[in-house]
């Protein structure tokens, strides 16, 4: 089986006997696992990196415990933490590209509905707002938008409906109060329409629509919220939002992995 060729750097030194510190061993093994997603054995790791097999075993045992490596039948693979780290390192670039692609759709939606528009994406167990449009041609970069979405908000419910473990549950609100979670029928309706409209007891309406890829996975959510008094025709506003989400889906970057 051929091995991937590493890019050479002028200041790069080949690992050898001098790479005997525990940190150096761990970093070299991390790099090798990242380059060998198909898996690699201890003997080959020892031979390739010039690290004694007992040291490789000890370091891999620690890496397994921390989630940076996994083992199956004496073959080692990148662990979930290593894959998560790789996703996090590329998330900023992907998020910026997503904002640039979808910003025109968001501005157009704001002009049609006259409500603030948010672009949110899943990040692990959180939902992060990447982008906000408050007026024509005015949009906030990622750094200013920032923040996470309420766990009982419409945006989170839309993403939860498409999750493999979408089981209705009770949610704790921002003030510690118990908030009634979505029902199975509500989840099913969200999956069917890709849309959720919620009216709060505080006189506000919240609308959220999933931006789905070709496999109907939610890559992002477009959301709008405002006083009920300003949303005179909720069905019409919901139609505008659903169409915007459909248009945004056509603009998703190829190979987007925003869904984490």
Domain spans of the chain, in order of start = 1-78, 90-250
Burial of 73 (0-12, 13-18, 19+ CB in 10 A): exposed
Which residue bears the tokens 């629509």? 209
Supply the DSSP symbol for 225: E
Measured on CA atoms in the order 234, 239, 243, 245, is the torsion positive or negative? positive
Rounded to whole angstroms, how far apart are CA atoms 166 and 244? 25
For the ranges 83-87, 118-122, 171-175, 238-242, the one whose mean pLDDT is highest: 238-242
pTM for the whole structure: 0.56
**DSSP three-state, residue 91:** helix
The per-residue DSSP string of 161-177 comes to HTSTT-----EE-TTS-
CB of 205 closer than 8 Å to CB of 231: yes
Statement: residue 50 has pLDDT above 60: yes
Note the pLDDT of residue 20: 53
Q: What is the pLDDT of residues 3-47, one digit of tens each?
A: 554 544 444 444 444 445 888 889 999 989 888 888 899 999 999
Rounded to whole angstroms, how far apart are CA atoms 236 and 213? 24
Supply the DSSP symbol for 228: G
Rounded to whole angstroms, how far apart are CA atoms 197 and 238? 7
Helices (H), ranges, 114-173 = 142-145, 154-161
Burial of 150 (0-12, 13-18, 19+ CB in 10 A): middle
Supply the DSSP symbol for 148: B
Note the pLDDT of residue 119: 92
Report the pLDDT averaged over residues 120-139: 73
The dihedral region occupied by 248, where left means phi > 0, alpha psi between -120 and 50, and beta the remainder, is: alpha
Statement: residue 56 has pLDDT above 90: yes
Superfamily of segment(s) 90-250:
GAF domain (3.30.450.40)
- Looking at per-residue pLDDT, the higher value among 150 and 54 belongs to 54
The tokens for 73 are: 């039948």
In terms of CATH architecture, what is 1-78? Answer: Orthogonal Bundle (1.10)
Share of the chain above pLDDT 70, in %: 72
Note the pLDDT of residue 141: 38
What average pLDDT does the structure give for the chain?
A: 77
Q: What is the pLDDT of residues 93-114, one digit of tens each?
A: 677 888 888 999 999 999 999 9
Note the pLDDT of residue 59: 93
Note the pLDDT of residue 239: 95
């Amino acid at each position: 089986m051929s091995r991937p060729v590493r890019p050479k750097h002028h200041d790069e030194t080949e690992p050898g006997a001098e790479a005997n510190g525990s940190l150096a061993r761990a970093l070299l093994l991390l790099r090798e696992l990242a380059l060998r997603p198909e898996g690699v054995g201890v003997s080959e790791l020892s031979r390739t990196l010039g690290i004694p097999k007992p040291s490789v075993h000890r370091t891999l045992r620690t890496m397994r415990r921390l989630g940076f490596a996994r083992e199956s039948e004496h073959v080692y693979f990148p662990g979930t933490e290593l894959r998560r780290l790789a996703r996090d390192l590329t998330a900023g670039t992907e998020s910026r590209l997503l904002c640039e692609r979808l910003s025109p759709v968001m501005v157009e939606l704001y002009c049609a509905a006259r409500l603030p528009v948010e672009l949110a994406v899943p990040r692990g167990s959180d939902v992060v707002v990447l982008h906000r449009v408050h007026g024509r041609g005015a949009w906030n970069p990622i750094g200013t938008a920032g923040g996470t979405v309420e766990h009982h908000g419409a945006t989170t419910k839309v993403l939860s409906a498409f999750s493999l473990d979408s089981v209705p549950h009770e949610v704790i609100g921002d003030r510690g109060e118990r908030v009634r979670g979505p029902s199975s029928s509500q989840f099913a309706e969200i999956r069917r329409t890709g849309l959720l409209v919620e009216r709060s007891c505080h006189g506000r309406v919240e609308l959220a629509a999933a931006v789905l890829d070709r496999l109907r996975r939610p890559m992002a959510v477009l959301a709008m919220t405002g006083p009920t008094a300003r949303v005179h025709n909720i069905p019409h506003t919901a139609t505008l939002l659903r169409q915007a989400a459909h248009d945004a889906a056509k603009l998703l970057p190829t190979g987007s992995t925003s869904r984490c």
